[in-house]
Amino acid sequence: MKIAFFDARSYDLPAFRAEGEKRAVDYRFFETRLAPETVSLAAGCDGVCVFVNDTVNAEVIDRLYDQGVKVIALRCAGYNNVDIEHAFGKIHVLHVPAYSPYAVAEHAIAMLLTSIRRIHKAYIRTRDFNFSLDGLTGFDLHGKTVGVVGTGKIGRIFIDICRGFGMSVIAYDKFPAENSGISYTTLDGIFEKSDIISLHCPLTEETQHMINAEAIEKMKTGVVIINTSRGGLIDAEALLGGIKRRKIGAACLDVYEEESDVFFRDFSGHIMSDDTLARLISMPNVIVTSHQAFLTKEALENIAETTTQNIISFFSEGVCDNELCYRCGQVDSCMKSRRKKCF
Ligand code: NAD
């Protein structure tokens, strides 16, 4: 099985090389992203392996199909960058539903603590032998209300950690988990009552710009917003407006709406052309990490193992539990629930 591996980074290689050798999957690593301009690199391959910022739109899918590619193996959970409906009937799409929800939930907490205890400022100060405490006053998490949007795998671990801090947790989910002991409210309830809001739901047409100017208006002054899910959940311009008006106390962003143009690359020494991102980063109460929440040793090993197993199951066993299609979960038409390929 020959698999063209796009957007390959140094941290991907050890685990994928080891899995590939162990299980006879021939990964061909390309640093470039999958896009209409690079799709021809997959010629002669049985599948492609892609990540969050590869472009897998209708054009790319048609060209992969014409080249004889049979499978798109996502090495991530989210699939908002894949035109799932267009792929149906042509190329099968596999993903890694969970690799380490702990990695992402713990990163969200790391960003929160860094932000509200001003660790990012203190770190730079003490390196310069500046031991003054002026401007470093934080606040206790204990007793604060955290609003969690999306109570799936990551959201629930985040909730457990927050409870350990003595925080009061409220949550919103389109599909609330029954008998979970989670106190659910409406989305407006989250906006109105939370001191801290953390997003853990997928990016869909419905959730696009869930945090916009109108939502921000409903929030408490000084609210802290954490986004480790997908950049498109937040209207970045509206967020910037809320920060400038001092309505938003802090923002912790591991994802950004236009991240595909900049994240995972080194632009130090260059002029940053994205004014909104540059402005956000310049704010003392904004912390940006470049889609790094997943990046732990455990997660990387699990990603390589599950992605490789998905490919082997698909080609050798003819079915893969982690296949995706736009009909998945629909009672009358879901083939996966009948242990079959999606089409
Ligand atoms: P999950 O599928 O287990 O949980 C998602 C939850 O969101 C579910 O409970 C679902 O019911 C809920 N949901 C769906 N539509 C909703 C809506 N319209 N409003 C509110 N809730 C809604 O997913 P997960 O593993 O917990 O991952 C959550 C998100 O984290 C993913 O969608 C992905 O975008 C993101 N993620 C980011 C990183 C990173 O490195 N930053 C890594 C992994 C996942």
Could you read off the pLDDT of 143-197 as tens digits, one per residue? Answer: 999 999 999 999 999 999 999 999 999 999 999 999 999 999 999 999 999 999 9
Pocket-forming residues, ligand 1, beta carbon under 6 Å: 77-78, 98, 101, 104, 149-155, 172-175, 200-202, 206-207, 228-230, 254-255, 291, 293-294
Span 76-127, pLDDT tens digits: 999 999 999 999 999 999 999 999 999 999 999 999 999 999 999 999 999 9
The Cα–Cα gap between 81 and 155 comes to 22
pLDDT tens for each residue of 12-26: 999 999 999 999 999
Same domain, 194 and 176: yes
Q: Enumerate long-range contacts of 257-266, CB under 8 Å, 24 or more apart.
A: 257/231, 257/232, 258/231, 259/53, 259/231, 259/290, 259/291, 260/33, 260/53, 260/55, 260/81, 262/290, 263/53, 263/290, 263/291, 264/7, 264/9, 264/53, 264/290, 264/291
Q: Closest ligand 1 atom to the C-alpha of 295?
A: 40
Q: Mean pLDDT over residues 46-67, rounded?
A: 97
Whole-angstrom Cα distance, residue 225 to residue 231? 12
| One domain, residues 118 and 87 | no
**Do β-strands 168-172 and 145-149 pair in parallel, antiparallel, or remain unpaired?**
parallel
Residue 338 has pLDDT above 80, yes or no: no
Mutate which of 12, 161, 182, 201 for ligand 1 pocket (most atoms within 8 A of beta carbon)? 201
Q: What is the CATH number of the domain that holds 61?
A: 3.40.50.720
Any domain includes 255: yes
Residues 144 and 265 in one domain: yes
Q: Whose CA is nearest to atom 1 of ligand 1?
A: 152
Q: Is the pLDDT of residue 331 over 80?
A: no
Q: Which of 52, 104, 159 to mutate to test the pocket of ligand 1 (most atoms within 8 A of CB)?
A: 104
pLDDT at 27: 98
User: Is residue 76 within 8 Å of residue 70, measured between CB atoms?
Assistant: no
Could you tell me if residue 302 is inside a domain? yes
In a domain, residue 225? The reply is: yes
For residue 150, report the distance from its CA to the centre of ligand 1, in Å: 6
Residue 168, classed as helix, strand or coil, is: strand
Residue owning tokens 């896009």: 35
- Give the pLDDT score at 38: 98
Contact by Cβ (8 Å): 109, 117: no
Structure tokens, 154? 């990551």
Give the pLDDT score at 323.
Answer: 95
Q: Where are the alpha helices (DSSP H) in the chain?
A: 13-23, 58-66, 84-87, 101-116, 119-127, 153-164, 187-193, 213-218, 236-244, 275-282, 297-312
Do both 312 and 327 map to the same domain? Answer: yes
Inter-residue contact 323 to 121 (CB < 8 Å): no
Tokens of 168: 């009061």
**Does one domain contain both 53 and 134?**
no
DSSP 166: T
Q: How confident is the model at residue 267, as a pLDDT?
A: 94
Domain count, the chain: 2
pLDDT value for 332: 80
Q: Is residue 309 part of a domain?
A: yes
**Residue 109 and residue 253 in one domain:** yes
Residue partners of 115: CB distance under 8 A and separation at least 6: 224, 250, 252, 285, 287
Query: Is 85 in the same domain as 185?
Result: no
Domain assignment present for 219: yes
What's the CA gap between 173 and 305, in Å, rounded?
30
Are 160 and 305 in a shared domain?
no
Position 343 in a domain = no
- 49 pLDDT higher than 80: yes
pLDDT digits over 263-309, tens only?
A: 998 999 999 999 999 999 999 999 999 999 999 999 999 999 999 99
Q: What is the pLDDT of residues 204-261, one digit of tens each?
A: 999 999 999 999 999 999 999 999 999 999 999 999 999 999 999 999 999 999 998 8
| The pLDDT of residue 24 | 95
Q: In terms of residue numbers, what domain contains 321?
A: 2-99+297-338
Q: Do 16 and 115 sit in the same domain of this protein?
A: no
Residue 138 included in any domain: yes
Q: Are residues 213 and 277 in the same domain?
A: yes
Query: Is residue 54 in some structural domain?
Result: yes
The residues carrying an active-site annotation are 230, 259, 291
Quick one: average pLDDT of 43-65? 97
Residue pair 171/183 in contact (Cβ under 8 Å)? The answer is yes
Same domain, 135 and 284: yes
Residues 92 and 108 in one domain: no
